[in-house]
Amino acid sequence: MLVAFLSAGAIAAKATDERPLPNELGSIMFLMYHQIRSPERDYVRSSDNFRRDLENLYNRGYRLAHLNDVVDGHITTEAGRTPVVLTFDDAAYGQINKIISNGREIWDPECAVGIITEFARKHPDMNVAGTFYVNPFSNNMDRKNSVRWAAWMQEMVDLGFEFGNHTTTHPNLKKDTPTQEQVEKEVATLQSWVYRQLPNYKMRSMALPFGIYPEQTEWVTDGTYGGIAYHHDSLMKVGANPSVSPYAKNWNPLHIARVRAQDITADLPVSGYWIELLDKHPEMRFISDGNPNTITIPAKAQAQLKNNLGSKFKIIVR
C-alpha cells in the first residue's frame, strides 16, 4: 500500500514538472564577473568554474536574461524559471577573445563569450545574454586593431550580448574626478569609443568603477562632453546581494546591487551562499509567469508592488 502511494506521488510530481508558482516580486541576481582564467583567485573565475556556474544556475531553474529587459520590467523568462543577469567588468582577461581553429576564427572556448554561447548551443532555453562593462584602456582590448574589435563587438550584439559604460580610465569618480566636467569626460569619451565600434548601438547602462558614485548621481545618468551626450537608465554597484524585483516599490535602477561571482564553498561557486539561500527559501526568488505583459504575484506580497504598474501591465494576484 505504501509502495503504491509513493509511486502515485512520483507520477504526479513528474506530470506537473515541479515548476514553482510565479512570484514576480521575488529577488533577481545580477552576477558580477571580472577575469575568466586559471587559477581561480580574487576577481578571477576559472573557465571551468564559470562553466559550472552556468550548469548550476541552469539546473536550479535559472535562465539568462538581458539586463536592459529586466530594467524595463520586460521579463521574457519562461514560466516557472528565474531570470539571472550576468555582468562582466573592465573588459578583463578571458571575457572576449577569438582563436584560430582549423584555419577558422572562432570564439575562444575558454572565454566568457565562448563558454556562454557553447552552453546555449547545448541548452538553447538557457539563452545567450550578458552585459560587458568595457574600458578601452584594458590590456585585453587590442587597441592596435580596432577593426577587429568592432567586428567582435558587433557579432556579440547580434548574438544577444549587451555593452555598458565603465568610464575611460576607471577612476574613483568621487576622489579622482571630483568635478562634473571630469566625470562627464570619463563617461562620454568611453561612450564615443564604444560607438566608434558599434555605430548603431545605444548604451543604456553603466557600472560605477569600484561601485563609487560621483558627488551627484545625475552626473553619470545624464551628461554631455565635447558634444557627446549620454543617458543611463541603470547604474550597477559592486556587491553584495540579489536585487529586488523591478516591480517592487523599493526598486531603484540607479542603485542595482550585484552578487560577486566567487567561491564560497569548493562545490557551490558563484555566490554559492545566495544560490543556497534562494534554494532554501524559494519564496524569495523571482519566478516568471512567462508573459512579459503580466505581473503575477502572491496575494501576501501585494503591498510590495510598485504603484501605477497597472497602466502598462496586467496584474494577476494568485
Q: Give least dist CB 166 to Zn ion, A.
A: 6
Does 186 bind Zn ion (CB under 5 A)? Our answer is no
**Which of 86-94, 173-181, 238-246, 299-307 is the region at the interface with Zn ion (rule: CB under 5 A)?**
86-94
Q: Give least dist CB 94 to Zn ion, A.
A: 15
* Closest residue to Zn ion, based on beta-carbon distance: 89
Q: Give least dist CB 90 to Zn ion, A.
A: 4
Instruction: For the chain, give the DSSP string.
Output: -HHHHHHHHHHHHHHTTTPPPPBTTSBBEEEEE-EE-SSPBTTEE-HHHHHHHHHHHHHTTEEE--HHHHHHT---PPTT-EEEEEEEETT-TTSS-EEEETTEEEE-TTSHHHHHHHHHHH-GGG----EEEE-TT-TTS-GGGHHHHHHHHHHHHHHT-EEEE--SS---TTTTS-SHHHHHHHHHHHHHHHHHH-TT----EEE-GGG---SSTHHHHEEEETTEEEE-SEEE----SPBPPTTBTT--TTSB--EE---SSSSS-TTHHHHHHHHH-GGGB-B--S-TTEEEE-GGGGGGBPTTGGGTSEEEE-
Q: Give least dist CB 257 to Zn ion, A.
A: 16
**Which of 89-97, 118-126, 213-221, 230-238 is the region at the interface with Zn ion (rule: CB under 5 A)?**
89-97
**Which of 39-47, 50-58, 87-95, 195-203 is the region at the interface with Zn ion (rule: CB under 5 A)?**
87-95
Which residues sit opposite 207 in a β-bridge? 236
**Which of 140-148, 176-184, 206-214, 266-274 is the region at the interface with Zn ion (rule: CB under 5 A)?**
206-214
Q: Closer to Zn ion by CB, 132 or 225: give it.
A: 132
Given the C-alpha cell 516568471, which residue does it identify?
Answer: 288
Does 90 bind Zn ion (CB under 5 A)? Our answer is yes
**Which of 66-74, 84-92, 220-228, 306-314 is the region at the interface with Zn ion (rule: CB under 5 A)?**
84-92
List the interface residues with Zn ion, window 209-228 (CB under 5 A). 209
Does 53 bind Zn ion (CB under 5 A)? Our answer is no
Q: Closer to Zn ion by CB, 132 or 230: give it.
A: 132
Q: Closer to Zn ion by CB, 89 or 289: give it.
A: 89
Among 53, 89, 108, 110, binds Zn ion (CB under 5 A): 89
Give the interface size with Zn ion as a residue count (CB under 5 A): 3
Q: Closer to Zn ion by CB, 90 or 162: give it.
A: 90
Q: Which residues bind Zn ion (CB under 5 A)?
A: 89-90, 209
